[in-house]
């Protein structure tokens, strides 16, 4: 969604929590087939219910008929044919962007006043993806920072592991998505290959600097991985880039078949 939505600035004025809710809905509608997995469908429906509820709440608080009408359109999205969903969602998102731009100040104030309540609304509605964050380069401090972003700003369930831990194979089985914290070690190629065995989608992040110098090895390995179809994310790792990348990869893996 971050890279794929047709109008580049469409997300600029939409509150981050709403973008968080829109992300898996967008990618589900984009990649949906006739046999979605139960997990993918639950994630989609939970996020759809969340954004419809939040947009309706915004409309009621701000006395905006436009927002209430958008909430109604969101509730109807799941009943539309698969081929129509993504076009309708893009129209809804464009309208939401226009309203958020027009009502920027009251909406920003509302989200400041109701931040805890709105986050709780999100937590109560959604089936969270379980992310396994793998420290494959012995960088616990860096891994802890990424784990905090994934948990506290992207709202995933996050587990961590070293790639050589005795229970690493079990953790691969128990989690939905595998997140490798570095492309620097040459072992990253074998780690990605192992995901095929466990039938898990995954992503690696490439830090382009190490100790103040360009990490050419990490960049080279990242480029090699991309050539064979592995997903690599380069810095900057903001919450919106993290969750839109993960949601896109997960939904595409589950649905694009």
- Listed by start position, the domains of the chain span 16-125, 130-255
Task: Indicate if the pLDDT at residue 213 is higher than 90.
Answer: no
**What is each CA distance from 226 to 131, 188, 245, 248, in whole angstroms?**
21, 12, 14, 16
pLDDT digits (tens, 9 = 90+) for 120-147: 999 988 989 999 999 999 999 999 999 9
Task: Determine the distance from the C-alpha atom of residue 185 to the mean position of all C-alpha atoms in its chain, rounded to a whole number.
Answer: 26
Give me the mean pLDDT over the 88-109 stretch. 95
Give per-residue pLDDT as tens, 147-198: 999 999 999 999 999 999 999 999 999 999 999 999 999 999 999 999 999 9
Distance CA 146, CA 206 (A): 13
Residue from 205, 202, 231 nearest 218 by CA: 205
In the block, tokens 């880039």 appear at 241
Is the predicted pLDDT of residue 5 greater than 60, yes or no?
A: no
What is the arrangement of strands in the sheet containing 130-135, beginning at the earlier edge strand?
Answer: 157-162, 130-135, 177-180, 202-206, 232-234
Q: Is the pLDDT of residue 10 over 90?
A: no
Residue-averaged pLDDT of the chain: 92
Provide the b/e sequence for 82-99 (b: ≥16 CB within 10 Å): eeebbebbbebbeebbeb
CATH number of 130-255: 3.40.50.2300
State how far the alpha carbon of 13 is from the alpha carbons of 9, 30, 182, in Å. Answer: 8, 23, 32
Q: Residue 68's pLDDT is what?
A: 97
Burial class (CB in 10 A: 0-12, 13-18, 19+), 19: buried
Strands 130-135 and 157-162: parallel
Per the listing, tokens 């046999």 go with 35
* Number of residues that make up the chain: 257
Q: For residue range 36-63, what is the model confidence (pLDDT) as tens digits? A: 889 999 999 999 999 999 999 999 999 9
Pairing outcome for strands 209-210 and 213-214 = antiparallel
Rounded CA separation 40/234 (Å): 26
Residue 148 CA, chain-centre distance (Å), reads: 15
What is the pairing mode between strands 232-234 and 130-135?
A: unpaired
pLDDT for position 257:
59
């Amino acid at each position: 969604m971050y890279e794929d939505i047709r109008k580049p600035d469409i997300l600029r004025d939409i509150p981050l929590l709403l973008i968080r809710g829109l992300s898996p809905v967008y990618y589900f509608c984009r990649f949906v087939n006739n046999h979605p997995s139960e997990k993918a469908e639950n994630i989609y429906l939970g996020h759809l219910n969340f954004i419809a509820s939040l947009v309706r709440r915004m409309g009621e608080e701000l006395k905006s008929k436009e927002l209430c009408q958008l909430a109604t359109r969101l509730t109807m999205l799941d009943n539309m044919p698969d081929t129509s969903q993504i076009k309708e969602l893009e129209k809804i998102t464009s309208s939401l962007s226009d309203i958020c731009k027009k009502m920027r100040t009251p909406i920003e104030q509302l989200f400041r006043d109701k931040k805890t309540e709105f986050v709780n609304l999100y937590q109560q509605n959604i089936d969270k993806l379980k992310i396994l964050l793998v420290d494959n380069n012995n960088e616990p401090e860096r891994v802890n920072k990424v784990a905090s972003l994934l948990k506290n700003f992207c709202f995933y369930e996050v587990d961590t592991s070293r790639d050589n831990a005795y229970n690493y194979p079990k953790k691969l089985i128990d989690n939905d998505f595998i997140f490798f914290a570095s492309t620097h070690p040459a072992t990253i190629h074998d780690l990605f290959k192992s995901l095929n065995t466990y039938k898990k989608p995954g992503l690696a992040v490439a830090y382009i600097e190490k100790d103040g110098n360009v990490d050419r090895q990490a960049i080279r390995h990242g480029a090699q991985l991309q050539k064979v179809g592995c997903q690599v994310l380069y810095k900057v790792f903001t919450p919106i880039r993290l969750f839109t990348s993960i949601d896109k990869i997960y939904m595409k893996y589950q649905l694009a078949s």
